[in-house]
């Protein structure tokens, strides 16, 4: 696996596949049986991360947590540093109540702020979307994209939810039973595990030619069996029939991920 500066890289696998173990190896918390980890040629010194969930002091405020962790890491613990860290992740500057009152999304943001205190060149986020509601997931995705753009960090994210990772990551690796079985661009990985697409649009049921694609009618949508290469041609044909498509989403076959040959 290779994650470059400014890149958001996804690690997909079921629970127990080895995602957390791999991240602990990358952070130097667990010794690998073989292989090496290199972060900009400097071992694991320039890396920050969250494993499973943010490790925070629940009875301290966000500011107090940041000051304490900055001192532990040997980083600047000044008020300016704390405020900049809060601004970077979009948290209120003057909230003084303890972290135990925070939502899971706010705790994730604070955990990321802690991980960024030493200005790492690489950030690891282990299952960061776990326990978040849809709004929380969207907010965290937006933050991750902003961080990659602003800081030019390499960001590596693990999750068992490929639909979420595919919307923020440019590359994906599939891990299964402790082994990376496939690595590629997000588009290529999605194409390999997609057999059907859902097309939505007004009057789409009038497109009789979709029967050629084993179409299943669901409200204002049609589920069709088609390849990635066929989709543009199908949408063009629908447009020519005055049928406007409002969305086209792949129906991912998650099991197909683990049937991919090892790269």
CATH of the domain at 151: 3.40.50.300
Q: Is residue 3 part of a domain?
A: no
Is 37 found in the same domain as 123?
yes
Is 139 found in the same domain as 45?
yes
Instruction: Give residue 217's domain range.
Output: 196-252
Q: Which of 189, 223, 241 is the last residue of a domain?
A: 189
pTM listed for this prediction: 0.80
179: tokens are 């082994």
Whole-angstrom distance, CA of residue 22 vs CA of residue 118: 22
Q: How far is CA 33 from CA 66, 178, 225, 246, 263, in A?
A: 34, 12, 43, 50, 21
Is 131 found in the same domain as 96?
yes
Is 239 found in the same domain as 120?
no
**Per the structure, how many domains does the chain have?**
2
Whole-angstrom distance, CA of residue 8 vs CA of residue 5: 9
Is 232 found in the same domain as 120?
no
Is 164 found in the same domain as 36?
yes
Q: Which of 150, 173, 189 is the last residue of a domain?
A: 189
Whole-angstrom distance, CA of residue 244 vs CA of residue 80: 52
- Contact partners, residue 124, CB within 8 Å, separation at least 6: 23, 26, 27, 47, 48, 49, 50, 51, 156, 157, 158
Q: Which of 154, 169, 189 is the last residue of a domain?
A: 189
pLDDT by 10s per residue, the chain, length 263: 888 888 999 999 888 889 999 999 888 888 888 888 777 655 555 788 999 889 999 999 999 999 999 999 888 888 898 999 999 899 888 889 999 999 999 999 999 999 998 888 899 999 999 888 889 899 999 999 999 988 888 999 999 888 889 889 999 999 888 888 889 998 888 877 778 889 998 888 888 899 999 988 888 898 988 888 888 999 999 999 988 889 888 877 766 666 655 44
């Amino acid at each position: 696996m290779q994650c470059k500066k400014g890149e958001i890289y996804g690690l997909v696998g079921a629970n127990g596949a080895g995602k957390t173990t791999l991240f602990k190896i990358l952070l130097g918390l667990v010794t690998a049986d073989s292989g090496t980890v290199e972060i900009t040629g400097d071992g694991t010194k320039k890396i920050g991360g969250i494993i499973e969930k943010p490790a925070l002091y629940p009875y301290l405020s966000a500011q107090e947590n940041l000051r304490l962790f900055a001192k532990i890491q040997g980083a600047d613990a000044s008020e300016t540093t704390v405020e900049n860290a809060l601004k970077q992740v979009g948290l209120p500057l003057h909230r003084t109540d303890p972290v135990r009152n925070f939502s899971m999304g706010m705790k994730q943001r604070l955990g990321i702020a802690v991980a960024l205190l030493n200005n790492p060149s690489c950030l690891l986020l282990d299952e960061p979307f776990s326990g978040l509601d849809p709004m929380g997931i969207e907010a965290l995705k937006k933050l991750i994209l902003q961080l990659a753009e602003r800081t030019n960090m390499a960001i590596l994210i693990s999750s068992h939810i490929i639909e979420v990772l595919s919307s923020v990551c440019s590359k994906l690796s599939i891990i299964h039973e402790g082994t990376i079985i496939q690595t590629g661009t997000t588009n290529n990985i999605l194409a390999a595990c997609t057999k059907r697409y859902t097309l939505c649009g007004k009057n789409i049921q009038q497109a009789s030619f979709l029967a050629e694609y084993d179409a299943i009618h669901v409200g204002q949508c049609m589920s069709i069996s088609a390849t990635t290469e066929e989709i543009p041609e199908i949408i063009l044909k629908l447009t020519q029939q005055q049928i406007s498509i409002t969305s086209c989403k792949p129906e991912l076959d998650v099991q197909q991920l683990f049937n991919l040959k090892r790269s």
